[in-house]
Amino acid sequence: MVGNKLTGADLKHVTIQDAFWGKYIDLVDEVILPFQWDLINDRVEGAEKSYCIRNFRIAAGQETGEHKGMVFQDTDAAKWLEAVACSLNKKRNESLERAADEAIDLIAAAQCEDGYLNTYYTITGNKRWSDLFEGHELYTAGHMIEAAVAYFEATGKRKFLDVMCKFADHLCLVFGPEEGKIHGYPGHPEVELALVKLYRVTENRNYLWLADYFVRTRGERPCYFLNEDCIRNGNYIFPEFKDFDLDYNQSHMLLKEQETAEGHCVRAVYLYSAMADLAYEYQDGALTSQCETLWENIVNKRMYITGSIGSAAYGERFTADYDLPNDTNYSESCATVGLAMFSNRMFHLTRDGKYMDVVEKALYNTLLAGIAMDGTHFFYVNPLEVVPEVAKKNPTYRHIKTIRQLWFGVACCPPNIARTLASLGNYIYASDESTIYVNLFIRSRMECQFSGIGISVSQECNFPENGTVTLSVSPEKPGSQFTLAVRIPSYCKGAVLKINGKEETGTLEKGYLYLKRIWEMDDTVVVELNVPFRYVRSNPRVRHNIGKVSLMKGPVVYCLEEADNGKYLSGAVIDTSVEPQEEYDHQLLRGTLCARLQGSRIDYEKAGDSLYGEEKPVYKKSELKAIPYFCWNNRGEGEMTVWMREKE
Amino acid sequence: MVGNKLTGADLKHVTIQDAFWGKYIDLVDEVILPFQWDLINDRVEGAEKSYCIRNFRIAAGQETGEHKGMVFQDTDAAKWLEAVACSLNKKRNESLERAADEAIDLIAAAQCEDGYLNTYYTITGNKRWSDLFEGHELYTAGHMIEAAVAYFEATGKRKFLDVMCKFADHLCLVFGPEEGKIHGYPGHPEVELALVKLYRVTENRNYLWLADYFVRTRGERPCYFLNEDCIRNGNYIFPEFKDFDLDYNQSHMLLKEQETAEGHCVRAVYLYSAMADLAYEYQDGALTSQCETLWENIVNKRMYITGSIGSAAYGERFTADYDLPNDTNYSESCATVGLAMFSNRMFHLTRDGKYMDVVEKALYNTLLAGIAMDGTHFFYVNPLEVVPEVAKKNPTYRHIKTIRQLWFGVACCPPNIARTLASLGNYIYASDESTIYVNLFIRSRMECQFSGIGISVSQECNFPENGTVTLSVSPEKPGSQFTLAVRIPSYCKGAVLKINGKEETGTLEKGYLYLKRIWEMDDTVVVELNVPFRYVRSNPRVRHNIGKVSLMKGPVVYCLEEADNGKYLSGAVIDTSVEPQEEYDHQLLRGTLCARLQGSRIDYEKAGDSLYGEEKPVYKKSELKAIPYFCWNNRGEGEMTVWMREKE
C-alpha cells in the first residue's frame, strides 16, 4: 500500500479528440441523453411508458395517481442525471442542464420530511425497509447518491447533493448495529459504493462507516433476509426470486470468506467495487487481497473473451469455473460496466496493469457492442454466438435478441453504457502526487498539477489499428521533474520507446513503463506497441471452446458474421498457419479494420438429407472475413460467432 | 393401402425369454407395479404424497377432504392400471389383479350419474369443460379409457370398460359440431387415440367419430382456446402456460396444414399417433401421407440419435430443424414412448421398416436409459452430454438431473416406461391374414392363427451383441403356406439368409425380407445380420455435432462415461481410422458389451492457469472405453457424452 493515492482523472481536465470513441461519445451527448429525458417523461411514441418522472410528481403531491413501473423505477431518473452530469463535466450544455435542474427540483419536492426518498414506497404507503431482499430501496438510494455526487462535481450546484446527504443521514439513523436499528443490508448492492463517493465529496465519515457496515455484515448467520416477510411468507414482489439461493445476492456467507464470484453478476461486481473502495479508503491489505482473489476468479475462470460475465440467463449469474457457453449466456452490458468499475478501482489500489487490460477488454468489446450507431437501440444480453433462426424458435434462447432493441422497460443497460462513455476520461488517465498514468490509447489531452505546476499530456494515436502512440508532455514550467507511466498491455508483443527521437528503456513494472525524468516543454514520447492480429485460444477446461480459436488485435475481439460470410458459420474451419490479412472496410461503421482469413468450409450442397449417417462432410477451400465484435449486428440480423473451429 | 390390415401381436400370445429384456420386464412385474400401487396409496415413506387413490375415495363419498395433487392426478391410477393390464395379459398375478379390481371398484364409485369421471372437477365443483386449454379433463379421460380397454383385453372383465363406455357416451353428448355442444378439443391430446382403442373393442363408431372430430377441428380459426376464460382473463391453472403460443399444443393451424412437428413433444406424438389410427381405420391416404410428412420431419430433422425428441426444456418442445443441442435438451422419456407408439402405428399402416428402425432406436436407447436397475429411480430428461459440476451450478441446466430420481410428483414417465416394457410383444411381432412380421430381435415365441391353423415362431438370438437370429417356424399342420417377413434394419451391412441350412434369397421390400413358402414343422430360418460397431456422424446442419462422431452397434448408441475414462470427456479425440475393439464388461449391468477406442486426450496437467492465451493444448495418446447409452449413470454421478470429437 502506498500513502500517495492514485485517482482517476477529473473529467473536467480530459478532452477526448478521438474519431473512433468520439462517434460514441457524441451519441451520448447529442442523442442518448435528450432521448432518455423524453423517455422518462413518457414522450417517446412507440416506447413503453416509463412513468418515472410522473411517479416523482405524484410523490411530490403535484399530481394524483398510482405508482407505476418497477419498484426501482426512480433509478431511471438517477442514471440519466448521472450521465448528464458526466457529460456536463466535459462540456457545458444549457438545455441539458436546465432539464436536469428541473428534475432535481422535482426530486427535492418528493423527499419526505425525514429525508426518506423513494416514490414507490411513498406513493403506495407500503412499509419502508420491510423487504430489503427485493424492495430495491437501498439500490435506488445508491443510484440517487451517485447522481447527486456527479452533478455536484460537474456543476458545483449543491441542491441535489444536499437532498441526498439528508437521505444518507436518515440511512445512518435507520441502519447499524445499535439496538432499534435495522441490522440488514441491501438485496441489490449499489448504495455501498455510492456512500463512499458521498463520503469523498462531503468528508462525512458516517457515510463511509455505513458502507463498511453493509459490506462487513453481509452474509452473517442467521441471514438477515431469511427473517423478512417476503421469504418467510412467500409474498414475493418478484416471484422468480423465490427459487434463488442466497448466493444469488452474495449473502450466502460473510464476504471475507467468499473466494469465488457467485450469483447475479451486476450485484457481484457492484459489491466488489465497494469492497475495493473500502480497501482503498482504509488502506486495508486484507480486503485488497480478498478483492484480488475474487477478481482473479472472475478473470481467470469466469469471464468471456469479450470482457463480459454471466454464463447463465436464469439468475443472470456466474455459474462454475470454466463454464462459458457461447450461445446461452447472459453477458449483460451492465455487468461489463460493473466489471470495468471494479477493475479500475483495483488498478487505483495496486497500480497493476492487468486490471487495465480487463477494463480495456470490457470497453472495446462488450460495452461498444451494446449500442447501435443510432443511439436508441441496445443489447442487454451479449452472446458470442448467434444463429437467429434457432434463437427465435428455441426458448432456451428466449433472453437473446437477434437485433438490438429500442430502449425499453427495465432500462438499466442503456444509461449505464451512456454514463461509462461519458466518463471515459476517468479510465484513460490516472495520477497521484507525481505520476501521470496513461492507461488507454485514445486520442486525447489531459491536464493536471504537480506542486502547483500545470502539466499537460496529449496523445496522438489510432489504436489498435496502429500501434504507434505519440505523447506530447508539456509542463507549464520547463525542467519539471515527474513520472510518466505508460501502460504496456499484456497482449503487446514488444514495445519500442523513443523520447524526442532517441530510443530509451524506462522501467517496466506490473505492466507500466515508468519514465521518471525532468521534462521540458513539448517533450515527445513515442511508444511503438507491436499489436498484430493474433489467434487466441481458451484454456482447454472451457469445454465449449475446445478445438476453436478467436482472432484479436490489441484488445479488440473479432468475429465472423453472416453479412460477410453467409450462413452455417459453424461449418467453417480456420487455417491458423496462414497470417490474417488486414482489410479495411470503408462502409462498416464508417470505416473499420477487418481481417481476411484462410480456411475451409463444409459444402452444404453435398450434405445430403439424412440426419445420421456414416459419411464425413465434404469441405471446400474458403476465405473468411472477420470484423470487430463491437461492429456486429449493424447490417441486419444474421449469424455471428466469435469462436471459430481451427484446422488441426 | 391394403385391405388386409396389419396389427401388432396380442400380448397373450407372445412369451419373452430374452435375458436382456427380461431383466427390465421382470422389474415391471416384480418391483415397479407393486411400488406404484403403494405410491398412489401414499404408503411409500420418503416419497412425495400422491393423493391419487385418496382423491377417488373423496369423489366417491367414502371419505371427506379436498382434492390434492395436479388436475390430472387421476392419470396415475389409469397408467398403473394400464401397465397392470399389460402385465396380466402376459402372466396372471393374483395380488396385482386383486389390487386392480379394488381400484376399479373405487373408480366406478367415483363416477357421476351422467357418466362424467374426474376427481378434480367433481371434488372442487369447478365448472366442467371450462378450461380445455389447461384442465386436462380429456387427457385424463383418455388415459382412463386406455386402461379400461387394456384391462378388458387382459382379463375379459367388463366393469371398468363399461364405466368408461358410459363416460365416452357422455363425451359424445358434450362434444361435437351440433348446436349446444362444445366445439372444442383437448389442450393435451391423448383421448383421441384412446377413443380409437375403445372403438376397436366395442365397435361403437361414435367413439371413432369423436376422435376424428377432435383431430379434424383442431386448429380451426378462430382458435377455440382463445375464447376460454383462462386465456381471456389470464386465470391460468399453470401460469407458465401464458407465455406459450398455440403451437405449444399443435392448435396453431389445422392439422392437415401442419408440415413440421411443433410444440410440446408428448402432445405432438400422442396426437400424431391418433392421426395414424384414424388414417388406418378410415384407410385415408391423404391422412397417411400427412402423418408421413410429420414423421419424416421429426426423424430427419428433429430427433436425437438416441431416439429422443424435445430440443428445449422450456415448453418441453420441438424447436427448429437441425437444432439438437446435446446438453440443454429435454428429451423426455414419455416423448420417446410416444414416438415409438407413433412409429409403430406408421409401420402398421405402411409395412415400411424405416418406422421399426425408429421404434427400435427409441426402445434400446432412451427408453432403457430412463430406468435404473432398482426399478424405483428414473430419468424424465435424457441429455446426451452431462458435466455434473456444471449442470448443478448453471441454472440453464436446472431441468437436468445428474442421477436418476426416486419416482416423484408428476409421475408421467415411470408408468409410461412400465407400460411400454409390459407391452413389448406388441412391438416385436405383427401379423395380417397371411404374414407374420418379425420386427425386433428379442428371444421370444409368438403364436397366431392363419385360417384356423395355429402357427408358432420362436426366436433365438443375442442381438445386437451378435447378429445371428435363428427363427423356428412351426405350423400346427405341416405344409401350410404363409409368409414370414423378417426386418432387415437399415443399419445392417448385409444379411445372409438360410432356411434349413440352405442359403436362400427371399424378396426384400421396404426393409423386410419376405419368405413366402410352404412351411413344415420345425423349419429353421437363420438370418445373419452384419452389425459391427460403426461410427455415425450427424448431418453437418446440426451445428452442435460438427467435427464429432458417435459409436453405434445395431440400434444401440454408445457413450463415454467418467467412471471408465475420467473427467474432461470433451478433451478426448477419437481416431476413427482404428476399428473399435469389443470388450465385454461382466460387472456393468450384470454383463454388457463395451468398446475400446483409440485416440488422444488433452493433457490437462500441462494446460496452465490462464483463461485465454495463444498456446495450443498438448495432447497425449489415449485409449477410451465406450459403453451403451442405456447403461449410463449406473455407477454414480459423472460426466457422460454421446458425441465425441473426431480426429481429422
The rounded distance, in Å, linking the Cα atoms of B351 and B273 is 16
- For residue B124, the tally of other CB atoms under 10 A from its CB is 12
Please give the pLDDT value at position B410.
Answer: 57
8 Å CB contact between A484 and A457: yes
Burial class of residue B637 in the structure, from the number of CB atoms within 10 Å of its CB (0-12 exposed, 13-18 middle, 19+ buried): middle
- Of residues A294, A310, A415, the one with CA closest to residue A345: A294
Instruction: Flag whether pLDDT at B241 surpasses 80.
Output: no
d(CA B572, nearest CA chain A) in Å: 10
Domain of A607, in residue numbers: 533-646
The pLDDT confidence band at residue B131, using thresholds 50, 70 and 90, is very high
In a domain, B315, yes or no: no
Task: Write the single-letter amino acid at B234.
Answer: G
Among B412, B448, B559, B594, which one carries the catalytic annotation?
B412
% of chain B exceeding 70 in pLDDT: 99
Whether A303 and A399 map to the same domain: the answer is: yes
Inspect the interface and report whether the beta carbons of A539 and B607 lie closer than 8 Å. yes
End-to-end CA distance of chain B: 47
For A119-152, give the DSSP string: HHHHHH-PPTTS-TTT--HHHHHHHHHHHHHHHH
B468 and B551 together in one domain: no
Does residue B240 register a pLDDT over 90? no
Residues A409 and A538 in one domain: no
Q: Which residues of B touch A568 (CB under 8 A)?
A: 540-541, 543
In this prediction, residue A230 carries a pLDDT of 79
Provide the shortest C-alpha distance from residue B234 to chain A (in Å): 17
| A158 assigned to some structural domain | no
Please indicate whether, in this complex, the C-beta atoms of A323 and B568 are within 8 angstroms of each other.
no
- Find the CB nearest B539 among A317, A538, A610: A610
Provide the pLDDT for residue A3: 53
Q: What is the CATH number of the domain that holds A451?
A: 2.60.40.1180
Contact list in A for residue B543 (CB cut-off 8 A) is 387, 568, 570-571
pLDDT class of A1 with cuts at 50, 70, 90? very low
Domain assignment present for residue A223? The answer is no
CB contact under 8 A, B542 and A571: no
Interface contacts A/B by beta carbons within 8 Å: 154
| Cβ contacts of A307 on chain B, cutoff 8 Å | none
Q: Are residues B580 and B606 in the same domain?
A: yes
- Domain shared by A559 and A635, yes or no: yes
Same domain, A259 and A403: yes
pLDDT at B562 over 60: yes
Q: DSSP secondary-structure letter at A468?
A: E
Q: Test A614 with B534 for CB contact under 8 angstroms.
A: yes
Say if the Cβ atoms of A314 and B612 lie within 8 Å. no
Cβ contact, residue pair B540, A314, below 8 Å: no
Cα(B109)–Cα(B163) distance, integer angstroms:
10
| Mean pLDDT on A479-485 | 96
A309 & A451 share domain:
no
Say how many domains are in chain B.
2
Within a domain: residue B104?
A: no
Name the β-bridge partners of B538.
A612
- Residue A581 sits in the same domain as residue A497: no
Residues of chain B positioned with their CB less than 8 A from the CB of A493: none
B93 inside domain: no
Residue B628 in any domain: the answer is yes
Percent share of chain A, pLDDT over 90: 90
Condensed to tens digits (0 to 9), the pLDDT of residues A429-461 reads 999 999 999 999 999 999 999 999 999 999 999
Domain identity same for A489 and A615 = no
Per-residue pLDDT tens over the stretch B628-639: 999 999 999 999
Instruction: Report pLDDT for B2.
Output: 44
The answer on pLDDT for B640 being more than 50 is: yes
* Whether residue A648 has pLDDT greater than 60: yes
Among B472, B506, B529, identify where a domain stops.
B529
B559 as an active site residue: the answer is no
Q: What is the pLDDT of residue A198?
A: 98
Centroid of chain to Cα B72: 20
Closest CB from A300, A303, A612 relative to B609: A300
Q: Are A75 and A139 in contact (CB under 8 A)?
A: yes
pLDDT value at B133 more than 60:
yes
Residue in the structure block whose three cell numbers are 476413427: B576
Euclidean distance between CA atoms A65 and A58, whole angstroms: 6
Please tell me which residue in B190, B262, B316, B332 is annotated as part of the active site.
Answer: B316
User: According to the model, what pLDDT value does residue B179 have?
Assistant: 95
Nearest to B302 by CA among A396, A639, A611, A389: A611
Contact B611 A319 (CB under 8 A): no
Looking at residue A409, its pLDDT comes to 57
CB A468 within 8 A of CB A525: no
Count of CB atoms situated within 10 Å of the CB of A345 = 24
Domain shared by A295 and A308, yes or no: yes
Q: Which residue of B has its CA nearest to A544?
A: B570
- Residue A408 above 70 pLDDT? no
Cα–Cα dist B477/A411, whole Å: 83
Please give the average per-residue pLDDT across B312-318, as a whole number.
96
Assigned C-alpha cell, B640? 457422460
Q: For residue B394, list chain A residues with Cβ-Cβ distance below 8 A.
A: 311-312, 319-320, 323, 325
Within-domain flag for A403: yes
> Whole-number mean pLDDT of chain B?
95
A267 vs A374, more confident: A267
Coil, strand, or helix at residue A603? Answer: coil
Residues A591 and A611 grouped into a single domain = yes
**Gap from B423 CA to chain A (nearest CA, Å):** 29
- Of A469, A496, A529, the position where a domain reaches its end is A529
Q: Which of B505, B529, B553 is the last residue of a domain?
A: B529
**A211 three-state secondary structure:** helix
- Using pLDDT thresholds of 50, 70 and 90, give the confidence band for residue A4: confident
Residue B289 lies in a domain: no
The answer to whether residues B578 and B524 belong to one domain is no
Residue of A nearest to B544 (CA): A570
Query: Inter-chain contact A311–B395, Cβ cutoff 8 Å?
Result: no
Nearest to A397 by CA among B312, B391, B316: B312
pLDDT (0 to 100) of residue A2 = 43
Task: Kindly determine whether residue B540 and residue A325, on different chains, have CB atoms separated by under 8 Å.
Answer: no
